[in-house]
A and B are shown apart, each in its own frame.
Chain A
C-alpha cells in the first residue's frame, strides 16, 4: 500500500522563480493494485515516481508506504522496500559485472554481510529465476551484463527489481527505449511478475493501449495534478479513443481555469 499526500515538488530555476512540478498531488494505491499513470510531457509523471523513490525531495506533503512515513528517508533507505525500473536499460544494472553477480546483488535488500554472495545453491536458485525470462540467460550467467541487448538487459533489471518482493514496484516508461518486439516482451513479463509476486505497481507510460491493458486503474496527470482517475467497470469499458477524449477534456478544463484566473 502506498499513500501520497498533497505532495508538492519544485525545482529551482535561474531567475528566482521556482518551477512547481507537482502541485499538492494526492494518490492512494491499495496493496496488490496496478496503476497506469499517463499524461503529456512535463505533466509530472516521472517526478511523481522520483518523489516516491526519494530521488527528488518534497517541498511539502508526505509519502507513506505500508503504514510507514518515509518522506524524510534517503533514496537508498527507501530502496530497501521499493523496486524500480527506469527507461534507460543501462541504469539499473552494473554492466561490468556478471549476470550472476548482478542477480546476487539484487536478491536481498539492505545491509550487505561479509559472506559469500554466490554459493552453489544460490547460483542454482538464481539460474532458475532468470530462466523464467525465457531468454536463455541461465546459460550465460558468467557473462558480463554489458554484453546483453537492451531488451535482455531491461528484462534482467525488471527481474532484479521484483526478486526481493518490494512493497511497491515503480516502472518509469521502462519499455519506451526498446524496439516494439522487446517492448511487448518486457510488458508481458511485467504483467506476469506483478501477478506472480502479488505486487503493488505504479507504471508510467505514454502508450495508451498498454496503459489500459496492463492495469486495473488508470490515472491521468496534467501540469502536476491528477485530472482523471478511472478504475473497475468504468475502466474496463474504456478504449484508447475514450482515454484521448478524457485527456482533451482535462486539458480544456485546465485552460478554462487559467482564463478564469487571468480575468
Chain B
C-alpha cells in the first residue's frame, strides 16, 4: 500500500513538475498537459509494442526499447507543448484556449498513435517495468526495485531541473513569469524563452505519461482526464507543507506534494466509505483540495504579513 502510494506519487510527481513549470514559473495556465500526458503514454506504448513485433535482426530495437520509449514520451509531450506555444505566440490566442486546442487535437492524434484503439495493454510486453526490476533487482530487494526505479527517475528529473534553474537560461525563465519586461530588458526574446519552458513542461508530462503507462500496464487515450487538476493539487499541497523561496526546495516539494496527494486519494478510496465517499467522488475531492489549498494560503498570507500581493493561483 505505502509502496504503491510512493511509486504513484513519484511517477505522477514528474507530471506535477511540468504543471509547476507552466503554472508557477511561467505563470502560463497550460491545459495542454491533458493532451501531452496521454501522448507520452501512447508514444511509449507504441514503441515497445513495435519493438516486440519487430522481426529478427532487430535485437537492438528490443534492447533499446525502454530508453526509446522514455525518450519518445518526452518528445511526444514536448511536441504537444510546442503546438500550444505556436498557437499562443503566432495567433495571440490566450494560454487557456491554446491549451484546449492542443488537448482536443491530441486526443485524435493519441488515438492514431495507439493504432486506432483507445487502449493499448502492456501486460505481456512491458520492457520498462521488466528493465526496472532486472537492473535494480540486484541493488534493492525485488519488491522494492520498482520503488527504487521511480525514486531514481523522479530525483534525477528534479535534480536536473534544479540545476537548470540555476543556469542563465533558467534564471531568465524564472524572471519571465515574474516580470516579462525585466527579461525583454536584457535582450532576450520572451516568446522563444516561453516556448522552451512550455516544451519542457509538457515534455515532463509526456515522460510521466510514459512511466505511468509502464506502471499501470497499459496506455489509454483517457489517461489525461483530470491530470491538470491533480498536478495543481500536488503543487499546492507541497506549497502548504513546505514554505521556501529557494527554487531547489520548491522543485523537490512538488514531489513531496504529489506523494501527499496520492496518499490522500488512497485514503479516500480505502476508508472513504466510512464517510459515504465513493471512487466517483475523487474528482470532487481533488477540486475541493485545490480550493482549500488556495483558501488556506490566502488566509495564511493575510495573517502573517500584509503583503501587497497574494500567491499566484
Contacts and interface: CB of A to CB of B under 8 A. Distances in A.
A114 B309 CA distance: 32
A113 B168 contact: yes
Interface stretch (A18-26, A92-100, A184-192): A92-100
Given A116-B166, A144-B245, A97 B171 contact: yes
A117 B170 contact: yes
A105 B184 contact: no
Contacts of A97: 171, 174-175, 178
B159 to A, nearest CB: 14
B179 interface: yes
Nearest to A90: B179
A107 to B, nearest CB: 9
B186 A115 contact: no
B187 interface: yes
Interface string B174-212: 110011011111111110010000000000000000000
A84 B184 CA distance: 11
A80 B181 CA distance: 13
B190 to A, nearest CB: 6
B185 A111 contact: no
Interface stretch (A71-79, A204-212, A221-229, A230-238): A71-79
A84 B185 contact: yes
Main secondary structure of the interface of A (DSSP, over half): loop
Nearest to A118: B166
Contacts of A76: 183-184, 187-190
B166 A110 contact: no
B70 interface: no
Contacts of B172: 105, 112
A140 interface: no
B169 interface: yes
B307 to A, nearest CB: 9
Interface of A: 74-77, 79-81, 84, 90-97, 101-102, 104-106, 108-118, 144, 146, 160-161, 164
20 contacts: A76-B183, A91-B179, A93-B179, A94-B178, A94-B182, A95-B178, A95-B179, A96-B245, A97-B171, A97-B175, A102-B175, A105-B182, A105-B183, A108-B186, A109-B186, A110-B186, A110-B188, A117-B168, A160-B185, A164-B186
